[in-house]
Amino acid sequence: MLAFRLTAAGATALQDVPVPEPGPGEVLVRVGAAGACHSDLHMIDATAPRHVPLTLGHEIAGWVEALGPGVTGFAVHEPVGVYGVLGCGQCAECLRGRENACRSGFGGIGLTRDGGMAEFVVVPARCLMPLGGLDVVRAAPIADAGLTPYHAIAMHRCALQAGSTCVVLGVGGLGHLAVQILRATTAATVIAADIAPDALALAKRLGAHAVVDTEDPDAAVAEIREHAGAADVVFDFVGLSATLDIARRVVATGGHLSLVGLGGGTLPVSPGGWTLPFEVRITLPFWGTRAEFREVLALAARGDLTTEIQPFDLADVATAYDRLRAGAITGRAVVVP
């Protein structure tokens, strides 16, 4: 089968590899679609990748193809989403169902073992989530671009009441689903901000109450403050110093900052140095829990969440990543093998 692999720092290749075999407790999934996440670009750009060669792709949906020894409860050809987080299953956080905060370290399908940018992928059976009638291709991004914002929003739900205002910085794969989750599950006013005009148009169409261009950061801060005064919650889905600085300047005293984007920027935190208002709470969310995956799929099933997708053939996966890097994808690029 064909698989798109990270082969060394900065190097990827579409390779012909054997179809993997499911071991005990595992399932072979025929990939219906895999989303191209900006995190894949961060992995490609990392100077010393620890898991190579590695098939990329951590947002996967498809159909059960074969069950490994001992696996029951799934039917061949059943449509499934893949929960990609791999915790140890034994630490305090895993036991609370928070595998995404596993104390034994960081693991995931497409992160630390082969992922879904391929015709087939083998995953532990516990990762499978029935998709019901959801479209497999549109469901794939929900496994991360939907789940991660859903989790981040859940962490700050107490500050998203009627009369409060939140800001979504970066309306890409994650951000465009964040806007919809905020509209569907909170009463907050949603201001969406991006540098790409198409992203702003998408945010408006998906229900953002206002949109702000961040090309000029000072003007963006002024415009957000005009709408909101100061923001109760700021979600940064970019993580560059430019967006962290906007977040810092618009968050209210006692407000919340959710730093989801992994752009490598820096947020100065200097008690007494007036870098942040008093009483601010900052979180660094990672992916989400299995229970939250079920919940965000349920939002999609009842029509509250639509993934905006740009499909690519597996043979064109490198083009999908090039466009993502160039900021030329609106919504999510999905690879359809």
Under rule CB under 5 A, residue 101 binds Zn ion? no
Choose the stretch contacting Zn ion; rule: CB under 5 A; options: 7-15, 112-120, 141-149, 305-313: 141-149
DSSP state of 153: H
Instruction: Give the interface size with ligand NAD as a residue count (CB under 6 A).
Output: 34
Under rule CB under 5 A, residue 104 binds Zn ion? yes
**Which residues within the stretch 55-94 sit at the binding site for ligand NAD (CB under 6 A)?**
none
Q: List the one residue out of 205, 206, 158 whose CA is nearest residue 180.
A: 206
Choose the stretch contacting ligand NAD; rule: CB under 6 A; options: 67-75, 122-130, 194-202, 223-231: 194-202
In whole angstroms, give the CA distance from residue 61 to residue 138.
Answer: 9
Of 171 and 305, the one with the shorter C-beta distance to ligand NAD is 171
Q: List the one residue out of 65, 62, 29, 42 whose CA is nearest residue 111.
A: 42
Choose the stretch contacting ligand NAD; rule: CB under 6 A; options: 109-117, 235-243, 293-301, 313-321: 235-243
In whole angstroms, give the CA distance from residue 82 to residue 127.
Answer: 5
Under rule CB under 5 A, residue 39 binds Zn ion? yes
Residue 88 interacts with, from Zn ion, ligand NAD, none (CB under 5-8 Å by kind):
Zn ion
Report CA-CA distances (Å) from 184 to 151, 190, 300.
14, 11, 10
In whole angstroms, give the CA distance from residue 147 to residue 82.
Answer: 11
Q: Residue for token digits 């999908």?
A: 320
Q: Are 165 and 234 in contact (CB under 8 A)?
A: no
Query: Are β-strands 332-336 and 26-35 bridged in parallel, bridged antiparallel, or unpaired?
Result: antiparallel
**Which residues within the stretch 77-96 sit at the binding site for Zn ion (CB under 5 A)?**
87-88, 91, 94
Q: List the one residue out of 56, 117, 37 whose CA is nearest residue 313.
A: 117
Residue 98 interacts with, from ligand NAD, Zn ion, none (CB under 5-8 Å by kind):
none
State which of residues 55, 164, 214, 258 lies at the interface with ligand NAD (CB under 6 A): 214
In whole angstroms, give the CA distance from residue 48 to residue 68.
Answer: 33
Radius of gyration of the chain (CA): 20
For residue 280, the one-letter residue type is V
**Which residues within the stretch 244-273 sit at the binding site for ligand NAD (CB under 6 A)?**
260-263
State which of residues 65, 99, 114, 194 lies at the interface with ligand NAD (CB under 6 A): 194
**Which residues within the stretch 273-302 sit at the binding site for ligand NAD (CB under 6 A)?**
285-287
Q: List the one residue out of 127, 110, 141 whose CA is nearest residue 34.
A: 141
Rounded least distance, CB 244 to ligand NAD, Å: 10
Of 5 and 176, the one with the shorter C-beta distance to ligand NAD is 176
Rounded least distance, CB 242 to ligand NAD, Å: 4
Under rule CB under 6 A, residue 240 binds ligand NAD? yes
Binding site for ligand NAD (CB under 6 A): 37-39, 42, 144, 148, 169-175, 193-196, 199, 214, 237-240, 242-243, 260-263, 285-287, 324, 327
